[in-house]
Structure 1
Amino acid sequence: MPQPLVRPARPDDEPALARLDRESWSPLHEVRPEPPAPDEPFFHPTCGPDAHLVAEHDGRVVGYVRLGHPTPMPTNAHVQQIRGLAVAEEARGKGTGRALVRAAVEEARRRGARRITLRVLGPNTVARTLYESEGFVAEGVLPGEFHVGGRYVDDVMMGRSLV
């Protein structure tokens, strides 16, 4: 599979993104106790298409990254946060996640951010390795912050400078 095209999300991507969210759900990376319901909307008033970049291969959505501010405070407006990332099973291990992370970093810069942060569950070593390889460092750990899949897992905060 060649590198995917990464582009801004459009409103008509919603069905494909909702399906991807349901199909990629796993307690390894999701704090929700179960996958989204089939009729649950993907976009929300505070998190619409403009908050997402989409990876596409041969016209098919194979991944997304969600960006936003970590808090609504003006004193934190210089920071963007990766608030979600998903890659379809058939696109994993083929550079799609890396392309989405790199696109998120560039989009955060375009938005004027000085920092980009994210949170990842401790057992998700594949994602943590990817983020580290793209310059993110662990900046804090909340031990046992979530009870997921029958066990307590750490919430790892990672970040990197954009200047």
Structure 2
Amino acid sequence: MTSSPKIRFARREDAAVIADLVTELARFEGKVGACTPEFIERWAFGSAPAFELLVAETDSGVVGYLAFYRAFSLFKGGPVLLIENVYVREALRGQRLGRKLLAAAAAEGRRRGYIRLELNVRGDNPKTIAFYEGLGLFAPGESVMRSEDAALATLAEECDQ
């Protein structure tokens, strides 16, 4: 990098590179990604955005992103900045871009009056867990439970019975 990286909110014209980054992350995690520029445009920049995006930009363009949305904690009594993904291209890791993205998200959350920043991390990724712990994040002792695809359809069918 010849100049300092910049963290900024994503713009509609970033949709294609963000879709590529999401696909890279899915591949890295061994998942099948179906992200397209149209998906990003619709859900991040449409009439009712479902999430927001921060991007890390260097002289070579957008090289990382952080996707987040607002959740709420009834126990703590306030809004939560829930991070869906953080990703930086592998060749640029170690240059504090992930840290800068997370710091920018934390600053934005504080600006908005959010009481907590939260994210999920894969349990089989000790390097990333250590990175997050180094930033002061902690595991509250809870596990994520998920229903999707056929299991979600089966559960939803119970509503009709």
Q: Same fold (TM over 0.5)?
A: yes
Which residue number corresponds to residue 131 of structure 2? 130
Do the aligned partners of 1:6 and 1:56 also contact (CA within 8 Å) in 2? Answer: yes
* Aligned ranges 1:46-85 → 2 under 5 Å: 46-47=49-50, 51-58=52-59, 60-71=61-72, 77-85=78-86
Instruction: Identify which of 30, 33, 36 aligns with 1:35.
Output: 33
CA RMSD, aligned part only? 2.6
Partner of 2:57, secondary structure, is strand
- Give structure 1 stretches of 5+ with no counterpart: 147-163
Partner of 1:117, secondary structure, is strand
TM-score, scaled to structure 1: 0.72
How many residue pairs match? The answer is: 139
Considering fraction of residues, name the structure with more helix: 2
Considering fraction of residues, name the structure with more strand: 1
Offset at residue 64 of structure 1 (A):
0.7
In our comparison, the structure showing a higher alpha carbon Rg is 2
TM-score, scaled to structure 2: 0.73
Return closer, same or farther for 1:39/1:15 CA change in 2, 3 Å cut-off: closer
Percent identity between matched residues is 32
Return closer, same or farther for 1:109/1:88 CA change in 2, 3 Å cut-off: same
Do the aligned partners of 1:3 and 1:95 also contact (CA within 8 Å) in 2? Answer: no
Offset at residue 9 of structure 1 (A):
0.8
- Give structure 2 stretches of 5+ with no counterpart: 147-161
